[in-house]
Amino acid sequence: MIVLKWWDVLQVLEFANYAQFATVSAGGGGGGGGGMAVPAVRTIRVRGVLNEQRAVMFSTDSRSDKMKDLSANPHCELCWFFPLSKEQFRISAYATWIDSATTDSKLQAIRSQQWKELVLPTRSLFDAAPPGTVMDRNTKLGDLDKYEAQPQSPHIPSPNFVIVLVHPITCDHLTLPPSGMVDPKKVLHHDGVLKPARQQRRWKHAVAKSTPATATATATTGSGGGAAATAYEWIVTELNP
Ligand SMILES: Cc1cc2nc3c(=O)[nH]c(=O)nc-3n(C[C@H](O)[C@H](O)[C@H](O)COP(=O)(O)O)c2cc1C
């Protein structure tokens, strides 16, 4: 039997570019957590999957709240829902990242490439006022305007530009029965069967050798560096939906 892994399935689905990314926030203060850890979820633009690691990449600002969350706790989740095929992928993971301090040249090349692919207005944001701070409308020339007036180098990433690598530990894949209008060919099961399910089905894809302790150690040292888990063997188990 052909066993398609979650990343193969994701690659053939439309709308895989955007996902919901959840972190655990330290809470307290303004977040309403009253000092307790609270979840924080937001949309991110998926920039690709690193082949050797199956790590899902996205870019962000080192000064953002999500980076504060990940620095304190690298555990996170990614979630996609695909309305055409009626599938949900929910990836439990840990994050590392490539930042200006990363010494691995291959990883730094990935960061530079991603920087080049940004449009100028997006690049400008990385050197403007920190995300989430109160905007000062009284300033004659706001930070953003100032930076938009300067030509940003497409070759040298801003020090605030970070590539987050989301390293999957498990993938929970749920398929719902298609409605009448769905093209049956769009329903691609992880086991390679190109036909619609008559009922809900659910699979767990688990990486066989992954050590969250290692993940914590690498992530808290600051950057994505040698963050690869030891092996990427996947075990697929069908679950009750
Ligand atoms: C369609 C869409 C795509 C987004 N992509 C990203 C992204 O790739 N990286 C990012 O940091 N924020 C992205 N954002 C903004 C985040 O959802 C979020 O509002 C912002 O990063 C602040 O989150 P934080 O304060 O929890 O760090 C995107 C928002 C939308 C609506």
Dump pLDDT digits (tens) for 67-104: 999 999 999 999 999 888 888 999 999 999 999 999 99
**Where is pLDDT greater, at 157 or 182?**
157
Dist. CA 177 → ligand 1 center (Å): 31
Kindly list the domain boundaries of the chain, sorted by start residue: 5-131+143-239
- In this predicted structure, which of 8-17, 20-29, 177-186, 197-206 has the lowest mean pLDDT? 177-186
Dist. CA 41 → ligand 1 center (Å): 9
**Where is pLDDT greater, at 222 or 68?**
68
pLDDT at 181: 47
Dist. CA 163 → ligand 1 center (Å): 13
Q: Which residues line ligand 1 (CB under 6 A)?
A: 18, 40, 42-45, 58-60, 64-66, 131-132
**Where is pLDDT greater, at 73 or 218?**
73
Q: Which of 74-78, 212-216, 237-241 shows the highest mean pLDDT?
A: 74-78
Dist. CA 88 → ligand 1 center (Å): 20
Structural fold of domain 5-131+143-239: Pnp Oxidase; Chain A (2.30.110)
- Is residue 189 within 8 A of residue 85, CB to CB? The reply is no
Nearest-CA residue for atom 1 of ligand 1 = 43
Band of the pLDDT at 215, cuts 50, 70, 90? Answer: very low
